[in-house]
Amino acid sequence: MTVGIGAGRYAPSPTGDLHLGNLRTALLAWLFARSTGRRFILRFEDLDDRVQPDSADRQIADLASLGLDWDDDVVYQSDRLDLYSRALRQLSDASLTFECFCTRREIHAAASAPHSPPGSYPGTCRNLTEQHRSAKRASGRPPAIRLRTNTDHHRVTDVLHGKFTGPVDDMVLQRGDGTFAYNFVCVIDDAEMQIDQVVRGDDLLTSAPRQAHLGHLLGHEAPTYAHVPLVLGPSGKRLAKRDGAVTMSDIRLPPQRVIGLLSQSLNLTALDNVWPSDLLDQFDPAALPKGPWTYSPEG
């Protein structure tokens, strides 16, 4: 086993029970970390207003029942607001933030900045004068805080996707209601927790360049990324609760059978009953399937 530094992590949002797609990603994150001698951290991204009471406890119970373990105490972002406030002040003191008074409708209606994809922030409030900002505040609209970027793209390296260059814009760091944004806090957490390996669904690959760029501005080295294939439902869309029996409580299979099902979908084993620890010696990221797995509760 290669001795690694830092840590890997799994960072779900406690907005409901984990489904097979979430559990498959958790298994992969655990295998990536443990096979390289890294610590493994469980962190809940619980700043979302959709968070459900007791959801985190149920997710912890499901992960533990599957034989996935983690180091240190479970981390909750809601306990770390002071850390995010300090990082925001650091960026503001370096003149790397600005107030934005735009609504989502106004942003979508405006033309995107040159060379940016549709929907990117067009820079409307980037260079407002203090007089204009004062007038906006007086109207009663609370501003969001955006990052003042100095580039429109950034390149990252992904274990499964190779070199990937994606757009970077003046992303939101803190919403108008005071809530810190996901793309901001996950970067702060990863750096502060010495997480140097980020394994997550490949639907988040396009977020990696802007997150890595933010980390660069804060003086942090980018982690090793591995964006893994998703699980799709019968309709061909990303697996969701609406697809039926997709959570641990729904499918009613023994934990070893669940791991067997997931590991078979990853070409890791032909066994029906297996624990994550049984997969470590043979785990090879290069052998993972490149495309998504379609799961059908009926089949």
Express each pLDDT in 37-66 by its tens digit. Answer: 999 999 999 998 899 999 999 999 999 999
Express each pLDDT in 220-265 by its tens digit. Answer: 999 999 999 999 999 899 998 888 879 999 999 999 999 999 999 9
Domain co-membership, 157 together with 93: yes
Is residue 59 within 8 Å of 12, Cβ to Cβ?
yes
Select from 182, 198, 213 the last residue of a domain.
182
Q: Which domain holds residue 147?
A: 82-182
Average pLDDT over residues 99-122: 75
Is the entire prediction scored with pTM above 0.75? yes
CATH number for the domain harbouring residue 178:
3.90.800.10
Express each pLDDT in 136-160 by its tens digit. Answer: 888 888 999 999 998 999 999 999 9
Q: Which of 35, 286, 285, 261 is nearest to 269 (CA)?
A: 261
Domain co-membership, 160 together with 246: no
Domain tally, the chain: 2
Domain co-membership, 97 together with 60: no
Domain co-membership, 97 together with 170: yes
Three-state SS string over the chain comes to CCCCCCEEEECCCCCCCCEHHHHHHHHHHHHHHHHCCCEEEEEECCCCCCCCCCHHHHHHHHHHHCCCCCCCCCEEHHHCHHHHHHHHHHHHHCCCEEEECCCHHHHHHCCCCCCCCCCCCCCCCCCCCHHHHHHHHHCCCCCEEEECCCCCEEEEEECCCEEEEEECCCCEEECCCCCECHHHHHHHHHHHCCEEEEEEEHHHHHHHHHHHHHHHHCCCCCCEEEEECCEECCCCCECCHHHCCCEHHHHCCCHHHHHHHHHHHCCCCCCCCCCHHHHHHHCCHHHCCCCCEECCCCC
Q: Which comes out higher in pLDDT, residue 118 or 271?
A: 271
Is residue 208 within 8 Å of 166, Cβ to Cβ?
yes
Type of residue found at 278: D
Bridge partners (DSSP) listed for residue 8: 40, 197
Task: Work out the pLDDT band at 3, boundaries 50, 70, 90.
Answer: very low
Domain co-membership, 59 together with 95: no
Domain co-membership, 67 together with 123: no
Residue 210 token pair: 């802007």
Residue 70 token pair: 């983690």
Domain co-membership, 86 together with 11: no
Give me the chain's average pLDDT, please.
92
Task: Please report whether residue 28 resides in a domain.
Answer: yes
Q: First-to-last CA distance in the chain?
A: 37
Express each pLDDT in 260-294 by its tens digit. Answer: 999 999 999 999 999 999 999 989 999 999 999 99
Sign of the alpha-carbon torsion through 184, 186, 187, 191: positive
Task: Please report whether residue 299 resides in a domain.
Answer: no
What pLDDT does residue 136 have?
A: 87
